Amino acid sequence: MGKLRKTIQREIYDTLDSSIFTSNDFDVTFGNPDSNEYLIIITFRHNNNYSYKIAKYTNIYQVTRTPGDIEEKEESNYNLYEESILYIPQWCNEVRNELKSEQPVYNEIDSLRKMIEDNIIINQNSNEAEFSVEEINNLQQKFEDLQARVEELEKNKIITESQSTNIKSGLQRVKEDIEYYPKDTWIKTASNKVVDLFVSVGKSKEGRQVLAEGGKKLLGLE
């Protein structure tokens, strides 16, 4: 077996985007097993001790996950390629659990994620394939309000001008995606992308205070 096709490679990025993180949080490399390389290596960009590696041998796909479900490092063998990538989202959850145990700021980030999902991202159980005009207008207004609050953070010197520009630019992209993405696709990725924009804010003491105490104000809930 040689290197994976581009279409199959793209599926890995889509899987990461649909996880609790986004693909921007990972470095992904695709190798050629015929040259004794890993078929796939996924490394968490913020801590390269966390990785998901797939090796292809004659009859099996061997997956090495760090962290594992129970142990720091675990290996599993699968007969099919589809089985070897099945646990990537679960591995992402375990990476998040490790981060939360090491860095309390991730608890605040998870709280912000829940507030975003509950108060900005619409009902994920909707059976409609596309957004209605009313839903689009409602969501776009919420993102405009959020962009305005980011400007307030900058004005109050809680975030830098550069951080403000990056966040507002990212929010604008997510807002524009509403009109072009199928509802299910947008819902799966939007909250991850929005939270990812605020991760840099949480790296400072002031930013952590925003996440811990000001999340509701940020979202216009009080």
Who's near 78: CB < 8 A, 6+ residues apart? Answer: 60, 61, 62, 63, 84
pLDDT tens digits along 49-68: 999 999 999 889 999 999 99
Q: Take residue 170 and report the two structure tokens written for it.
A: 């990212």
DSSP letter at 219 equals T
Q: Is the pLDDT of residue 90 over 90?
A: yes
pTM > 0.85 = no
Average of per-residue pLDDT across 94-121? 76
* Digit-coded pLDDT (tens) for 13-37: 999 988 888 898 999 999 998 888 9
| Separate counts of helices (H) and strands (E) for the chain | 9, 5
